[in-house]
A = this chain, B = another copy of it.
Amino acid sequence: MNTFGEKLRFTSFGESHGVAVGGVLDGYPAGISVDFSFIQKELFLRSPSSVMHATQRIESENVEYLSGIFNGVSLGTPIAFIIRNENNKIEDYSHLKDVFRPGHADYTYQVKYGYRDYRGGGRASARETVSRVVAGALAYQWLLKKGVKIYSFVDTIGNVSLPNGYVVRDMDRVEASPLRCPDMDTEKKMNSLLNEIASKGNTIGGAVTCIIKGLPAGVGNPIFGKLQQMLASAFMSIPAAKCFEYGLGHNAANFLGSDSNDAMAFVDGAPKFLSNNAGGILGGISTGEDIVCRVVFKPISSIGMEQDTINNCGDNVKIRVGGRHDICAAPRAVAVVKAMAAITLMDVLL
């Protein structure tokens, strides 16, 4: 299954080292002037060049739009786009042809398909998320016209976390921050930690908070189309995501009902929640408060240390994956989380 969404349907395709990655966005309304430079800016935020402790590999992010846009304006027909893979002839991956890298999907793809593109992880590579960012940036342009804003940022790397949880800080800072962290002191500590971990050839986990502002009350559906369910599905589709939570999240287990329930009152004549433990959703439907959710990512699986594994020929072997990889997934994932949130919300609002 490579399609996401019901009314806005995003189909993703492409292997890491095949000809191209790309996507088709179907259901995008006609008459929207597409801001191509905005898309490139979002892609830049996902690119290794804008992030510290990221791979030194330069990935092409040159988007070619194939359909659905005429004279810069959307037609209402499917928007197809591709980004060619330019590294695919440079590196030699033949030593990975038969071996299963720990933490990667090499083994599970082999079992499921019996045949796989072993170059750079093939379809399982995070390279695929570049298509999501293009589709998400298209969706986000539409959301902005509806008054919906999405903020995402790194809240945790290892044992370093933002002091006060998910509270929105100076969001303007996030995009300029090389670790996508809204707080400079925290970012410094994260940077020190990453330096230390990188020096050992190791990697580490992290977490991204996503806050959606401006979504009116009444959006979402009961039972099997709950807003949190769609966001969970969106975020758990991102490589390396291990946890989705919203509102009180995993801390909810240790809350009392009297502390968890958000009281209501009329404020200036308008219904208002006096707190937002719900994270902006009750019964699967938005309350009008900020949607506050979070994704936790496991450490990058490619580490520079020797590991035990097996190959496809029946041998126990040792592997050292090599060192041009990110140290932590979270900073570059910030753009992907935002993109998936945008695709999900546009789908729900259409």
Contact = CB atoms under 8 A, between A and B. Distances in A.
A239 B284 CA distance: 9
A234 B152 CA distance: 25
Main secondary structure of the interface of A (DSSP, over half): mixed
A299 B67 contact: no
A337 to B, nearest CB: 14
A254 B328 CA distance: 11
Interface string A9-29: 101111100111110101000
A324 to B, nearest CB: 15
Contacts of A288: 111
A126 to B, nearest CB: 11
A123 interface: yes
B115 A250 contact: no
A47 interface: no
Contact of A310 (B3, B237, B265): B265
A218 B115 contact: no
A247 B242 contact: yes
Given A115-B76, A224-B3, A310-B266, A285 B108 contact: yes
A141 interface: no
